[in-house]
């Protein structure tokens, strides 16, 4: 007996029948953000009861170190008496809660911070409000809506959930991968020939062998470009942590299909359960860095999450937490540190990477070395 389709399937099929196949980006947007049947609109994805566990849920150490990174950055650009401390995609507010607790030891930081969370979901805003009692929190729908002024911004596992488009090198040229209907009216992938890309991406894909697939994240690049201009104008820094690759700087050239679905902590075919599975794609950090640099910022990274956390003091923080802990609790701290920074299977140290965007005069922020600068100074 076949499985019943999810509630979103007939709506997608009707849209495709009326308007033609969807781009992968449009398909992802419907699956994740449809107001009534989208994944983020209808369920709690985070934590052991959800479909995935993020670094802040693994251990308080992650958010604490990110908070201290933010405070160090604030001091590096002169500790202004007022600045915007923002998070993109704050989830349940766990990272920000840990960051704010850690920064209580930094004189003046919390008094100067104007706390703004970029979150469009009313449901998640309520969860974030409950996670941050005692703090004056503001919300913005988009990064473009952040208040003016010096900025320290963090974003953990945000860009991987932004819709992507996929382009394939065929013997005849470039085609875009689309989501349409097969002969039995089931969702199916197909190709639309004659696609065009920005000059550099088009040249890069046409130089690749037939079958090569290039993923583009227009919204991610737009966010990076906006932040590049914003940081160059107002000062500050932004830190992105996510899983991904260094694009054309990778041995594989940044090509490959990384679209994946996760449902109940297990991988799922991307077209199998629209609206009931998380859809993500690996982040092209080189594309983000290049977009920010074109608009005036400097970029550092990407470097492995493990490298970033170790440089920020993960080992010392773990030892501090274990100092008076029972053996079981100490073992849990060690296990969390390994998962955050290790390089083995199911560990995040190398698959997850960090990219910092900074004002041109700021230099390498905490956790990054001068030699980590992407492409030289802007």
Which class is domain 42-163+216-355?
Answer: alpha beta
Q: pLDDT class for 1, splitting at 50, 70, 90? A: very low
Residues 6+ apart with CB under 8 A from 119: 89, 90, 125, 128, 139, 140, 141
Q: Element (H or E) spanning 297, and its range?
A: none
**pLDDT tens string 2-40:** 678 899 999 999 999 999 999 999 999 999 988 888 888
Mean pLDDT calculated for residue range 369-375: 95
Asked if 166 and 176 count as a contact pair (C-beta separation under 8 A), the reply is: yes
Report the candidate in 293, 313, 296, 292 with the shortest Cα–Cα distance to residue 159: 292
| pLDDT at position 123 | 86
Cβ contacts of 79 within 8 Å, gap of 6 or more: 108, 109, 112
Question: pLDDT value at position 183?
Answer: 93
Domain spans in the chain, listed from the N-terminal domain onward: 42-163+216-355
Mean pLDDT in residue range 180-199? 94
Which run of H or of E encompasses 12? Answer: helix 8-19
Taking 60 as the threshold, does the pLDDT of residue 47 lie above it? Answer: no
Tens of pLDDT, residue by residue over 55-66, are: 999 999 999 999
CA-based nearest residue to 350, from 300, 306, 302, 316: 306
Q: Both tokens of residue 192?
A: 């639309």
Round to whole Å and give the CA distance between 191 and 168: 8
pLDDT in tens, 128-172: 999 999 999 999 999 999 999 999 999 999 999 999 999 999 999
Beta carbons of 209 and 252 less than 8 angstroms apart: no
220-251 pLDDT, tens digit each: 999 999 999 999 999 999 999 999 988 766 76
Contact between residue 161 and residue 245 where contact means Cβ atoms under 8 Å apart = no
Has residue 42 got a pLDDT over 80? no
Beta bridge partners of 155: 88, 240
Contact between 114 and 82 (Cβ < 8 Å): yes
Please state, in angstroms and rounded to a whole number, the distance separating the CA atoms of residues 33 and 276.
Answer: 11
Tell me the two tokens of residue 288: 């983000």
- Name the pTM for this structure: 0.93
Is it the case that residue 345 has pLDDT exceeding 70? Answer: yes
Q: Are 19 and 27 in contact (CB under 8 A)?
A: no
Give me the helices (H) in 161-264, please.
Answer: 199-206, 218-234
- Grade residue 378 by pLDDT with cuts at 50, 70 and 90: very low
The pLDDT value recorded for residue 43 is: 67
Tell whether the model's pLDDT for residue 49 goes beyond 60. no
């Amino acid at each position: 007996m076949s499985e019943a389709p999810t509630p979103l399937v007939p709506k997608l099929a009707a849209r495709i029948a009326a308007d033609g196949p969807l781009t992968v980006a449009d398909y992802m947007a419907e699956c994740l953000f449809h107001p009534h049947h989208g994944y983020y609109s209808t369920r709690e994805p985070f934590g052991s009861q959800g479909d995935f566990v993020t670094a802040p849920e693994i251990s308080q150490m992650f958010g604490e170190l990110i908070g201290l990174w933010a405070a160090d950055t604030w001091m590096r650009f002169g500790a202004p008496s007022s600045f915007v401390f923002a998070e993109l995609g704050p989830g349940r507010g766990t990272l920000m809660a840990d960051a704010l607790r850690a920064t209580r030891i930094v004189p003046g930081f919390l008094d100067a911070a104007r706390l703004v969370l970029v979150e469009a979901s009313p449901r998640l805003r309520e969860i974030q409000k409950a996670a941050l009692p005692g703090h004056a929190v503001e919300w913005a729908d988009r990064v473009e809506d952040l208040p003016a002024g010096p900025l320290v911004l963090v974003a953990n596992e945000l860009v991987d959930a932004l819709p992507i488009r996929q382009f394939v090198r065929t013997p005849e040229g470039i085609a875009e991968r689309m989501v349409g209907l097969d002969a039995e009216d089931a969702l199916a992938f197909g190709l639309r020939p004659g696609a065009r890309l920005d000059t550099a991406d088009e040249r890069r894909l046409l130089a690749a062998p037939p079958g090569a697939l290039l993923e583009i994240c227009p919204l991610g690049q737009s966010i990076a470009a906006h932040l590049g201009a914003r940081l160059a104008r107002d000062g500050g820094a932004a830190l992105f942590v996510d899983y991904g690759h260094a694009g054309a700087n990778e041995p594989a050239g940044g090509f490959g299909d990384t679209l994946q679905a996760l449902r109940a902590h297990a991988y799922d075919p991307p077209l199998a359960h629209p609206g009931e599975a998380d859809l993500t794609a690996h982040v092209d950090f080189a594309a983000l860095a290049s977009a920010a640099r074109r608009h005036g910022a400097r970029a550092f990274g990407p470097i492995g999450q493990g490298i970033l956390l170790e440089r920020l003091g993960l080992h010392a923080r773990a030892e501090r937490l274990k100092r008076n802990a029972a053996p079981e609790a100490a073992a849990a701290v060690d296990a969390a540190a390994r998962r955050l920074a290790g390089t083995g299977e199911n560990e995040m140290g190398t698959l997850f990477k960090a990219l910092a965007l900074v004002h041109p005069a700021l230099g390498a922020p905490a956790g990054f070395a001068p030699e980590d600068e992407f492409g030289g100074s802007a």
